[in-house]
């Protein structure tokens, strides 16, 4: 046993030796991010593990010698290079960021909205309990597993009821991957047990987006292995569209659900299944299931997200859920659900007689199903049966200029450049006043641009420049006689100085900016996700800087298919002659793989957000589905308060008018006319391969107000594609639309993106 003198000597030696002092954990993380490296990169350099590095950055542990000195040397080197907080990394998709809404304490009869957690750089998954430690599971409807232990490090949450975020991806081993890298153990082996665990033990869900709304039901995503674990078939087979398929009522899993006294919605047990019990008061009991092997995630919206590792998929879906809404089906369904979530149809009101709180209509919301006016109805609608007075045709542009109207100067230019308006329909939704009540039929009304509705007007006598698309028709051709138009189209005719004398109209006198909250949330989601991928979103950003950042993002996103060598070639071409981009050409394979991975995930989220906009608008005029429908009968969508072809027509009309206004302003200022227009994409002949080569600017270099403006925000523009001018002329002469194929290859542009 050592003597006191020996111990004192050892202590004195420690006191005389300077011990390295590490920066605070937050600074350690900041410096690594500033260097554009991952925790895996640091772990490889120090011959350690990523989980260990995460412990250093979270402050749970500190490195020991000899790694302590090496880690300190690394941090000091970074600190010399990056002494202050730098601009966001232009090559990193950083994942979800906390939304600005602060949690609000309950007041009155309903809780105020709060937002789900969304850490900027989530910690790695915590290890779940081993299989040996999992408790046995009974064969009854509810598992006997204990509540899972909370991870040691959890990001701050806005609502303590949902500590593990809005959703989880469950694998075949019973591990639930949640947002923020949290792992939970789920011992359930039947669907009823899974539902019970989700509601009672998981801590999964999301708070309401409006104080008068409802909390989002927890979402459990089942991988192929998890589907097998719960007795589900690997594929749904049948002759109908796969999205309409469901398990038969005599399937064992459906019988289990019924026996446990749970219910399925009318769409049954399909790729998106909702399992519930009738609510008791304000207490909801509902779980949403997503079955990945049943093609629940449409590749047109989510890309190949279904092939991701469960942890990565939880991150992608979690970002979307935190910024938009917990997915409740396709992105179209989610877009429509978001409208209701942001403007619920009802709110608590106090009954003057009883003094009790009861449900009442919410001002400014769509509170009940309303049938359209006959000219607004699709052909299958009962209101359209026997109607011969013509129909509203407010759709997006599909127009090509007559090749005979091309000038020699245009044909000699080398390039055709396509510019695309970011989420043009979303931009049109801002401050759009729509009707909320029944349409009233009026003969020979005086036009009022403040009244939303449908007007019968004759624009066929108006002569316009044929080098521009006609603003009154989606084909861009001159109207042949009287037609029905939504208020924005008629208002634009007045703006252009033409007299308007409607013969009749269907008008709505109860109005409101119903889509404003929907627009605001989706705009924030779009801009935040774009910024995450390193694309500057400040409106005053230099246009060339934005275009370079977009090109870099697209290069990384495409590299998942093209491979590292193709990526290096593309980066060298992008950096040629650019000192500020020289660092792109000497990155390690590990760095490039990490960047590809992050940009790929970011592109998935951005695609889903854009599909939410497009699909939600389409759902406003959802037509009957299924082979058993008979024309003239009502279909289920008509019983929704959010089935409103009038609102869809108003929005599309405004987007088309916005496009024409830019086209006309550019032509008036510069004499430039588009070769073709498709929805929100316009193609111009250009002396250079960039839109900056033909778009006008003021003397100080700023873009001219009212024309196309380059930038990341909704309503601003980006490059859709560049091709040789000869290619565009050839397509035009064959009757094809260059705007549809300007991306190159087999690309076909989605309308209303």
Q: Write the pLDDT tens digit of every residue in 412-465.
A: 999 999 999 999 999 999 999 999 999 999 999 999 999 999 999 999 999 999
Cα–Cα distance for residue pair 145/227, rounded to 1 Å: 20
Confidence of residue 243 (pLDDT cuts 50, 70, 90): low
Contact 492, 426 (CB under 8 A): no
Residue with tokens 């202050």: 84
Strands in 390-463 per DSSP E: 398-400, 415-421, 434-435, 440-443, 453-458
pLDDT greater than 50 at residue 702: yes
Lowest mean pLDDT among 148-152, 244-248, 634-638: 148-152
Decide: 729 and 403 in contact? Cβ < 8 Å.
yes
Look at residues 434, 594, 470 and name the one whose alpha carbon lies nearest to residue 36: 594
Question: How far from each other are the two terminal CA atoms of the chain, in whole angstroms?
Answer: 77
Neighbours of 182 (CB within 10 A): 27
pLDDT over threshold 70, residue 93: no
If one counts every other C-beta atom within 10 angstroms of the C-beta of residue 576, the result is 10
Q: Which residues pair with 168 in a beta bridge?
A: 178, 220
pLDDT (average), residues 644-657: 98
- Report which of 544, 564, 545, 543 is spatially closest to residue 555, judged by C-alpha positions: 564
Q: Please state the rounded mean pLDDT for residues 172-198.
A: 94
506's enclosing H/E stretch is strand 504-507
Q: What is the mean pLDDT of the chain?
A: 85
| Range among 68-77, 175-184, 475-484, 595-604 with highest mean pLDDT value | 475-484
Closest CA to 208 of 270, 156, 136, 284: 284
| Pairing of the two strands 482-486 and 504-507 | unpaired
The pLDDT value recorded for residue 479 is 96
Please write the tens of the pLDDT for every residue from 488-502.
999 999 999 999 999
Q: Per-residue pLDDT averaged across 584-612, rounded?
A: 92
pLDDT at 127: 39
pLDDT, tens only, 383-419:
999 999 999 999 999 999 999 999 999 999 999 999 9
Tokens 């695309």 belong to which residue? 420
* Residue 280: its H or E element: strand 272-280
Query: With contact defined as beta carbons under 8 Å apart, do 345 and 362 qualify?
Result: yes
């Amino acid at each position: 046993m050592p003597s006191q003198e020996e111990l004192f000597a050892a202590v004195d030696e420690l006191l005389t030796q300077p011990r390295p002092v590490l920066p605070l954990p937050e600074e350690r993380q900041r410096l690594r991010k500033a260097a554009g490296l991952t925790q895996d990169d640091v772990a490889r350099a120090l011959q350690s593990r990523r989980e260990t590095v995460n412990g250093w950055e979270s402050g749970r542990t500190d490195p020991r010698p000899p790694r302590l000195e090496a880690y300190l040397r690394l941090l000091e080197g970074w600190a010399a290079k990056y002494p202050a907080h730098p601009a966001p990394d232009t090559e990193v998709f950083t994942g979800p960021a906390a939304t600005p809404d602060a949690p609000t304490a309950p007041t009155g009869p309903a809780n105020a909205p709060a937002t789900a957690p969304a850490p900027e750089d989530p910690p790695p998954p915590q290890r779940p309990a081993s299989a040996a430690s999992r408790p046995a599971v009974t064969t009854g409807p509810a598992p006997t597993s204990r509540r899972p232990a909370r991870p040691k490090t959890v990001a701050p949450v806005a609502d303590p009821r949902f500590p593990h975020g809005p959703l989880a991806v469950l694998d075949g081993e019973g591990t639930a991957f949640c947002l923020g890298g949290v792992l939970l153990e789920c011992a359930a082996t039947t669907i009823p047990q899974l539902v019970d665990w989700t509601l009672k033990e998981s801590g999964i869900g999301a708070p309401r987006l409006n104080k008068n709304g409802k909390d989002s039901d927890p979402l459990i995503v089942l991988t192929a292995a998890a589907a097998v674990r719960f007795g589900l078939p690997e594929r749904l087979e049948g002759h109908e569209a796969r999205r309409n398929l469901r398990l038969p009522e005599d399937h064992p899993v459906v019988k289990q659900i019924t026996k446990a006294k749970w219910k399925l919605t009318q769409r049954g047990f399909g790729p998106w299944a909702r399992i519930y019990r009738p609510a008791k008061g304000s207490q909801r009991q509902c779980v949403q299931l997503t079955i990945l092997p049943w093609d629940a995630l449409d590749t047109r919206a989510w890309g190949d997200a279904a092939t991701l590792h469960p942890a990565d998929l939880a991150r992608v879906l979690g970002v979307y859920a935190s910024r938009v809404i917990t997915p409740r089906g396709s992105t179209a369904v989610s877009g429509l659900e978001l409208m209701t979530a942001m403007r619920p149809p009802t709110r608590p009101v106090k009954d003057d007689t009883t003094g009790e709180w009861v449900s009442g209509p919410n001002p400014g919301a769509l509170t009940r199903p309303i049938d359209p006016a006959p000219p607004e109805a699709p052909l299958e609608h009962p209101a359209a049966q026997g109607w011969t007075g013509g129909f509203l045709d407010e759709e997006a542009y599909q127009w090509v200029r007559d090749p005979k109207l091309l000038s020699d100067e245009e044909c000699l230019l080398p390039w055709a450049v396509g510019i695309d308006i970011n989420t043009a329909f979303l931009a049109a939704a801002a401050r759009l006043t729509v009707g909320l009540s029944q349409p009233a039929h009026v003969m020979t009304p005086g036009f009022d641009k403040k009244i939303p509705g449908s007007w019968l007007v004759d624009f066929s006598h108006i002569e316009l420049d044929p080098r521009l698309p006609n603003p009154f028709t989606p084909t861009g051709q001159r109207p042949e006689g009287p037609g029905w138009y939504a208020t924005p189209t008629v208002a634009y005719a007045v703006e252009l100085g033409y007299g308007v004398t409607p013969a009749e109209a269907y008008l709505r006198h109860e109005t409101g900016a119903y889509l404003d909250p929907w627009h605001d949330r989706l705009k924030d989601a779009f801009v935040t996700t774009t910024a995450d991928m390193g694309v500057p979103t400040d409106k005053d950003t230099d246009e060339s800087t934005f275009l370079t950042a977009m090109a870099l993002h697209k290069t990384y996103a495409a590299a998942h298919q093209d491979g590292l060598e193709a990526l290096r070639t593309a980066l060298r071409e992008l950096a040629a002659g650019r000192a500020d981009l020289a660092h792109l050409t000497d990155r390690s394979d590990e760095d490039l793989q990490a960047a590809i991975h992050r940009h790929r995930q970011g592109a998935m989220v951005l695609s889903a957000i854009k599909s939410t906009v497009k699909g939600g608008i389409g759902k406003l005029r959802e037509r009957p589905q299924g082979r058993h429908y008979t024309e003239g009968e009502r279909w289920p969508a008509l019983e929704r308060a959010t089935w409103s072809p009038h609102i869809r027509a108003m929005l599309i009309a405004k987007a088309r008018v916005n496009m024409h206004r830019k086209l006309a302003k550019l032509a008036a200022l510069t004499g430039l006319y588009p070769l073709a227009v498709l929805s929100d994409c316009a193609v111009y002949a250009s002396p250079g391969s960039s839109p900056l080569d033909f778009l006008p600017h003021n003397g100080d270099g700023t873009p001219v107000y009212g024309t196309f403006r380059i930038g990341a925000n909704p309503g601003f523009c980006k490059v859709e594609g560049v091709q040789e001018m000869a290619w565009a002329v050839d397509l035009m002469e064959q009757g094809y639309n260059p705007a549809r194929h300007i991306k190159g290859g087999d690309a076909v542009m989605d309308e209303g993106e």
